[in-house]
Amino acid sequence: MKTNQTDVVAEYLREVDQRLAGLPVLQRRELLADLAAHIATERDERNLASEGEVIEVLERLGTPEAIAAAAHEEAGTQPRRPEAFYAPPSQPGGPYAPPSEPAGFYPPTAQSAGVYPPPVPPARPRSTNWALIGLVAGGAIVVLFVLCGFFALARGGESAPEPAVDVYPPAPTATADLVDPPTPTVTG
C-alpha cells in the first residue's frame, strides 16, 4: 500500500468523521471502523495498486456528505456544520492556494492565512424602551398635578382656619401669695 493511497483514505475518513458531528461517539467510531474495514477489504480483494483505483472505491461508497446524511437520518439526528466547513472565499487555484496579493504590499491577516471566523449575527435594532419609560414617567407627573389641582378645587373658597386661642385664667402672682397668706378660720 502506497503512502498517497493511505493519505486519500485517511482524508476521506477524516471528512466523514467531521460530517458525522452530532452523532454519539460510539456510533461514529463504529461507522468509521466499518468504512475503513470495507475499504481495506476492497483493496486486498481487488489488489488495488494505484491511487485512481482507490478513489474509484471511495466514489462507489459515496461522498462523505451522503454517508453522513444517511447516518444522521438513521440515527434521527440533525447534521451539524462544524466550523471547519466554512468555505473561504474563492481564490484562483482553490481554497488552499496561497493568497494572490503580494505580501509586501498588504499586512498579513487571518484571512490571508486561511483562518476565517464564524459568521457574526446581525446586531439587534435598538428597542424603544426609553421612550416607553419616558411616557410612563410623564404620565405619572401629569396625574400628580391633576390630583393636586383637584384637591385645591375641592376645598373651594374656604380660607385657612384661624388658629384657636385658648383663654386661661390669669395666673396668681408670686408676690401676692407670699405677702398675704390665707388665714385659717375656725367654724363652729
- Poorest-confidence range of 19-28, 109-118, 122-131? 109-118
pLDDT tens digits, one per residue of 74-90: 877 776 655 544 455 55
The whole-number pLDDT of residue 115 equals 61
pTM, rounded to two decimals: 0.41
- Classified as helix, coil or strand, 21 is strand
Q: Which of 110-114, 116-120, 124-128 has the lowest mean pLDDT?
A: 110-114
* Calpha distance 14→68 (Å, rounded): 12
Q: At 109, which amino acid appears?
A: T
DSSP per position, 84-143:
GG-PPPP-TT-TTSPPSS-TTTS---TTTTT--PPPPPPPPPPPSHHHHHHHHHHHHHHH
Quote the CA–CA distance of 25 and 27 in Å, as a whole number.
5
Among the ranges given (30-39, 74-83, 99-108, 156-165), the one the predictor scored with the smallest mean pLDDT: 99-108
In the predicted structure, residue 65 carries a pLDDT above the cut 70 = yes
Q: Is 179 exposed, middle or buried (0-12, 13-18, 19+ CB in 10 A)?
A: exposed
